[in-house]
Structure 1
Amino acid sequence: MDSSFKSPVDMLKQWVEQYGDNIYLRQPINGQYVDFSWREVQQKMQQIAGALRHLGLEPGDKVAILSKNCAEWFITDLALMHGGYISVPIYPTANADTIRYVLEHSEAKAIFIGKLDYWADQEAGVGGDLLRMAMPYDTMPAQYQWQTLLKMGQPLVDTPAITEDQIMTLIYTSGSTGKPKGAIQTFASYAWTCKAVVRDLKTGIDDRLLSYLPLAHITERVAIEGSSFYSGSCVAFVESLDSFVADVQRARPTVFFSVPRLWSLFQKNIIDKIGYAKLNLLLKLPIISSIVKKKIHQGLGLNHCNLLGSGSAPIPPSLIAWYHKIGLNICEAWGMTENSAYSIINHPFDARKIGTVGRPIEGCSIKQAESGELLVKSPGLMTGYYKQPEATASSFDEEGYFRTGDLCSIDIDGCVTITGRVKDNFKTAKGKYVAPVPIERKLAQDPHVELICIIGSGLPHPVALVQLSEGAKMQPREEVRSSLKATLDSVNPHLESHETVDAIVVMTDPWDVDNDVLTPTLKIKRHVLESCFSDKVDGLRGGKICWEDEI
């Protein structure tokens, strides 16, 4: 055992002793911060853990958390660790079926429910017999309210020391190809990864973090919540989607992680305000250029940031290149639920490596299988999938490397490019296999494209389904059509004959989590689009560009 091992609860104690009255968590309520010091967080943690004991929950019991990010999410998480419980986070956007599945599969004994936008639609998934405890927000009915829990029983102060091999949490994957699987993460795997983030990003007590990506997802749980435990950084939250920009500006974060969808939306807002041609012109003028960049950084609330990151889904290299041009360097990272989300990153930012996800971090080793699959090994790896021994066994090779399911190429400098998913490859009607992701990457260089999915299982040739970027939706169809046509005509000649794309179809309805096209981490479910559109697009030929309503 590592005698220097410190759990998040041990770290909390350390910060309380050193900086007890310093602000740790900042929760906006009605546009004003409600602040929690390190000491208050520790007291509330002990009170909530004591209430759970009082209610008869025993160490080792699983307890779910269903809520958007808030200060109470952190406090609940710490209370579960402190009391020896195993946390089971659930996406705040999850539908009733997914909630029911995760609660039943994990055998959760109780659930904390908090900030939710559509709790009435989700309540059926929680079931009536499960012990419900509510955070202090508008949420579904519960037996116990937060304020009651804080006064219930005795605060739990002394508990057995948390050990490294103890299970901390079951994190259910976003399920892009089927039922979610529960990755078992121990305190050892979690602590190692959080400490690696702090080591590499060099965050400390003067840093300000912003927590808004779902805490049910491993990335936020490690990169923001986890790193705050080990760096002593202050964390602010976002009140709602409507107040997002104001919340970012008020938090003045020094580190900011996001997802491709949001980086794309920020880009649209900037271009809408200034205009594409005008912005390009201004960026060419020496003194004006730096003033414009500074204004943009301030407008986004990112003018204090030392580090920007993007993860959880692939980001178009053209988008990172565009941000680099306006003086914002986004480090793309790669990780999975199974390896605690932090394994490979383009940090320090290297503009020559845009399009790769960078190099493996210290302590993480990678190799490439003969099939081209990326295999990863680090102390951040899960111990397995909960109640799924066969899936666990098939996920690791004989040396203990995890089979990621991602196809990759590795360049001479050791930088990794993700080129597709092992399971994404499909067979056309001609019996030839097509790997869609490299083709999607080429077509996605068109600035009008925000999301793209190539389908073609059983079709004569592949067809590309496209969601336009926000800016492109405003442009005349013919302008967008000719740009997409030029892009397709530049890509097709370089493909094998069986890979050439017969058509690009611009979709009418947005792809989102609600209509089941995107996972909660905004990855596209190819099989869903395939089943909806294969018949519809069969028969399109000759590099055609059309809108869904024109078919």
Structure 2
Amino acid sequence: MNTFQTPLDAFQYWLTKDPNFIFLRQPINREFIEYSRQDAYNQAIAMAASLHSMGLKRGDHVALLSKNCAHWFMADLAIMLGGFVSVPLYPTLDKDSINEILVHSESKAVIVGKLDDYSRQKTGVPEDIQRIGVKLYGVEEQHSWETLIKDDHSSFDPPGLNPDHLITIMYTSGTTGNPKGVMHKVSSFNLMGNTTIPTLKIPENCTYFSYLPLSHIAERIGIEIVSFYCGGRVSFPESLETFAEDLASVKPIFFIAVPRIWQKFQEKILEKFTQKKLDTLTSLPILGAIVKKKIQQKLGLNNAKLCYTGAAPIAVSLLEWYDKLGINILQGYGMTEDCILSHFNIIGSNRFGSVGRPMPGATARLSPEGEIQVKSDALMVGYYKEQAKTDEVFTEDGFIKTGDIGEYDHDGYLSITGRIKDQFKTDKGKYVTPSQIELKLSKNTDIEQVCVVGMGIAQPIALIVPSETGEAKEKQAFEDSLLQTLDEVNPTLASHEKLAKAVIMKEQWTVDNGLMTPSLKVRRPRVEAIHQEMYKSWFDREERLIYEEKNNGGD
């Protein structure tokens, strides 16, 4: 494999090798608009020149507000070519959060791409920064991307990237509190680009499907940066409604999904087959192979050589379920602060239940309390304008404190057993680590989301959001399913961990209502803030299953 000094070096290599290779595929009205490497470069260099002509200088901060699309990649390429620092924003943020980040990051310009409803977010953009909208996605702004790239920029000499310069400020999704701006140098992205491809055995000119937020480190590195380094082709979904159709048409070779997406796929498959029927069909030698292939094709994963999951815990039972269908899901582990240069399972040495072994270039250890700590040359510079928080997250000898609790087996595979901040103490004075209990409960496909809580009561309880499968069941069948799961899980737990009951939530936890992060993790602090005052009254009731509506005057 080739090694490079910067992401721009990598892109330039593939541009020179085959400028007409289709790099980006953007669906509009059910037709793919295709951009070659040369097309993407031409638009990016013109945009970089336009930003300089507006008065921006090398090192200035340029924000990106957009869902995944071709122009996200071209805008980020432009920011790199111009020598600017990118500030990607989650496309689901409300106007207040957008304003907070744009002001805090001192962004001088923002490029606005594909969004669901920019009119609801627009007032969050300060009027004193340059605003560039992409008309292809219906965004009308102070400047038009399409107009700016038509200007004559032939005399522009791009300053490009230096390995020691800042490349991005990535704001965390705020699982445990307010977002923090993680600063990374060019060298961090470069190290990941040069390390990931040979370690994970990603083929050259790979096919990707980009849909998880590019403002999250996993998609940014795993799809965008990797596509720069190994010459890939990236396609995007047009909408949530066309997601399945678009994925099936693209047939990616490399595919990343968070656990909740894998759960959703499983639900859709089990709508077509009962588990019993699926077990019977897949156990038959010839017919089983045909059924597995059909399911893979329906998902769009029949060409997938690499399937990864991360960002949140995933049940071993779900990994095993997919494995029986011929879909081998590899688990990885990393965070924004370590640029995900941490732990990965790889083809040929995948161990279910673990997140793999340390990546080349990464050193990891456990603190005396069992906290996972990671060190590499890809660690963040620090949190932007947050020196105290930066000092707090680094050890004296330069390791990042992840906040996760883990353990290694004798072969060096890491298993994550919980998060320090998620632990709570019941009235009995015993600490409970909820994540492993939640994973056991999530084996039940009638459960969409679960949060085990217990502050101020004697035993933990489970807050449960039903899945589509669960909601489609008769009430008695659904309740029997939950009670059976409680009866199966409780004997596997220590006495102070046993679940007293389950409370069925009256609404979904979503990004829109603030109970999930944009990377689809449950925001435990917010869930607890809303429901904690009810814990005691729920706990004191006789029933083992309680509907939230009943406590709020419902049926």
- Whether TM exceeds 0.5 here: the answer is yes
Residue 303 of structure 2 aligns with an amino acid whose one-letter code is: H
Task: Check whether the contact 1:50–1:153 (CA below 8 A) recurs between aligned residues.
Answer: no
Pick which of 409-418 and 135-144 moved more.
135-144
Shift of 1:349: 5.7
| Cα distance in 1 for residues equivalent to 2:341 and 2:270 | 32
Name which of structure 1's ranges 180-189 and 194-203 shifts more when overlaid on structure 2: 194-203
Aligned amino acid, residue 523 of structure 1: K
Residues 489 and 543 in structure 1, CA contact (< 8 A), matched pair in contact too: no
* Superposition deviation, residue 175 in structure 1: 0.7
- Map Cα deviations across residues 147-170 of structure 1 (whole Å, 9 max, x no partner): 111023524653345211100000
* Structure 2 counterpart of 1:276: 275
Correspondence for 1:206: 205
CA distance in 2, matches of 1:248, 1:300: 7
Kept in 1: contact 2:65–2:89 (CA 8 A): yes
Q: Indicate yes or no: 2:334 matched with 1:359.
A: no
Query: 1:215 is matched with which residue?
Result: 214
Q: Which amino acid aligns with 2:143?
A: Y
2:385 to 384, 387, 409: 387
Letter in 2 for 1:547: Y
Structure-2 separation of matches of 1:301 and 1:138: 26
Checking the alignment, whether the CA contact within 8 Å between 1:408 and 1:420 is kept in structure 2 is yes
Counterpart among 433, 439, 445 of residue 447 in structure 1: 445
Shift of 1:106: 0.3
Instruction: Within 5 Å, give how 1:88-127 maps onto structure 2.
Output: 88-127=87-126
Amino acid aligned to 1:529: V
**2:34 match:** 35
Q: Which residue of 2 aligns with 1:261?
A: 260
Counterpart of 2:157?
Answer: 158
The 1:130–1:157 alpha-carbon spacing in structure 2 relative to 1, beyond 3 Å, is closer
Q: Percent identity?
A: 41
Q: Which runs of 5+ in 2 are unaligned?
A: none
Question: Where do residues 140-159 of structure 1 align in structure 2 (5 Å cutoff)?
Answer: 140-152=139-151, 154-155=153-154, 157-159=156-158
**Whole-Å separation in 2 of the counterparts to 1:477 and 1:156:** 70
Which residue pairs with 2:313 in the alignment? 314
Of 443-452 and 233-242, more deviation after overlay is shown by 443-452
Return 169-178 or 460-469, whichever deviates more.
Answer: 460-469
Determine the C-alpha separation between the residues in 2 that align with 1:271 and 1:440. 21
1:483-535 Cα offsets, whole Å, 9 max, x none, are: 32233233334444433322111212011011111111111111111122122
Aligned positions of 1:374-413 closer than 5 A = 374-413=372-411
* TM-fit CA distance, 1:543: 7.7
Superposed displacement of residue 227, structure 1: 0.3
Shift of 1:314: 1.7
Contact between 1:488 and 1:543, CA under 8 Å: does it hold in 2?
no
Deviates more, 1:180-189 or 1:415-424: 415-424
Tell me which amino acid in the other structure corresponds to 1:545. L
Please state how far the C-alpha of 1:479 moved relative to its aligned partner: 2.2
Higher deviation after alignment, 77-86 or 275-284: 275-284
| AA aligned opposite 2:336 | T
Shift of 1:136: 2.9
- Counterpart of 1:171 in structure 2: which amino acid? M
Partner residue of 1:420?
Answer: 418
| 8 Å Cα contact 1:449/1:469 also seen in 2 | yes
State the alpha-carbon separation in 2 of the partners of residues 194 and 14 from structure 1: 14
For 2:373 and 2:349, locate their aligned partners in 1 and report how far apart those are by CA, in whole Å.
24
Distance 1:127 1:160 in 2: 27
Task: Judge conservation of contact 1:49–1:155 (CA < 8 Å) in 2.
Answer: no
Distance, in Å, in 1 between the alignment partners of 2:375 and 2:458 is 40
Tell me how far apart the structure 2 counterparts of residues 138 and 26 of structure 1 sit (CA, whole Å).
14
Deviation at 1:455, TM superposition (A): 1.4
The residue type equivalent to 1:460 in the other structure is A
Structure 1 residue ranges without an equivalent (≥5): none
Q: Which amino acid aligns with 2:489?
A: V
Aligned pair count reads 548
In 2, Cα distance between equivalents of 1:432 and 1:271:
39
Determine the structure 1 residue equivalent to 2:546.
546
Q: Secondary structure at the match of 2:272?
A: helix
What amino acid maps onto 1:517 in structure 2?
Answer: L
Q: Tell me the amino acid that sits aligned with residue 447 of structure 1.
A: T
The residue type equivalent to 2:243 in the other structure is F
Match of 1:175 in 2: 174
Query: Match for residue 135 of structure 2?
Result: 136
TM-score (norm 2): 0.95
